[in-house]
């Protein structure tokens, strides 16, 4: 203000008018500043309110999503528990069937082994009888061969004797006719 006064030497009446003018200007600037602060405060309040509303909306949306996800998780857990229970039950049934099948198979194998053992014993008995009968057959065949040879020799001898006798009778007939 002293720099301005030095540049513009004011007269006493002008000084009061200048001072009034400056006071009006200061009041106007204060009013503008107050208006700016009020506007700024309203803008801040509106921004805070909007951001609080947005935060509230985001929180509600997030809570809703969390609730839906938690419901989905609970539903999936329930489904998983049901699936596990069903699979356990199914597995238990399959294990029971497997045990029954294995038991039946072991029974059939034991029966088969018993039957095969009995048949093997029977086969060995039949084979022993067969060997004895085969040996008897071979002995009989040997004796038959000897008897057949002797029979054939006797038959041949009889045939030769019959021929000789027939020849002798023919000669005697011829001699008696002559």
The 10s digit of each residue's pLDDT in 140-168 is 999 999 999 999 999 999 999 999 999 99
Confidence of residue 177 (pLDDT cuts 50, 70, 90): confident
- Using alpha carbons, select from 165, 157, 158 the residue that is nearest to residue 173: 165
* Residue 104 pLDDT exceeds 60: yes
CA 18 to chain centre: 100
Q: pTM score > 0.85 for this model? A: no
* Residue 173 pLDDT exceeds 60: yes
Q: Alpha-carbon distance 53 to 60, whole Å? A: 10
Mean pLDDT of 38-50: 92
Q: Alpha-carbon distance 165 to 21, whole Å? A: 197
The pLDDT tens digits for 65-93 are 999 999 999 999 999 999 999 999 999 99
Handedness of CA 171, 173, 175, 177 (dihedral sign): negative
Average predicted confidence (pLDDT) for the chain: 90
Confidence of residue 15 (pLDDT cuts 50, 70, 90): confident
Question: Which of 19-28, 63-72, 120-129 has the least mean pLDDT?
Answer: 19-28
Q: Alpha-carbon distance 168 to 170, whole Å? A: 5
């Amino acid at each position: 203000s002293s720099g301005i006064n030095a540049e513009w030497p004011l007269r006493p009446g002008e000084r009061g008018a200048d001072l009034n003018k400056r006071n009006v200007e200061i009041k106007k600037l204060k009013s503008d500043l107050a208006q700016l602060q009020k506007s700024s405060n309203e803008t801040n309040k509106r921004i805070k309110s909007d951001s609080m509303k947005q935060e509230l909306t985001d929180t509600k949306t997030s809570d809703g999503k969390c609730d839906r996800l938690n419901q989905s998780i609970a539903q999936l857990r329930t489904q998983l528990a049901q699936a596990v229970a069903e699979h356990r039950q199914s597995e238990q049934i399959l294990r029971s069937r497997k045990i029954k099948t294995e038991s039946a198979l072991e029974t059939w194998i034991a029966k088969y082994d018993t039957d095969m053992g009995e048949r093997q014993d029977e086969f060995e008995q039949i084979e022993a009888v067969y060997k004895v009968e085969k040996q008897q057959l071979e002995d009989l065949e040997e004796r038959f061969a000897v008897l057949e040879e002797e029979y054939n020799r006797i038959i041949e001898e009889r045939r030769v004797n019959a021929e000789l006798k027939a020849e002798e009778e023919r000669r005697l007939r011829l001699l008696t006719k002559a």
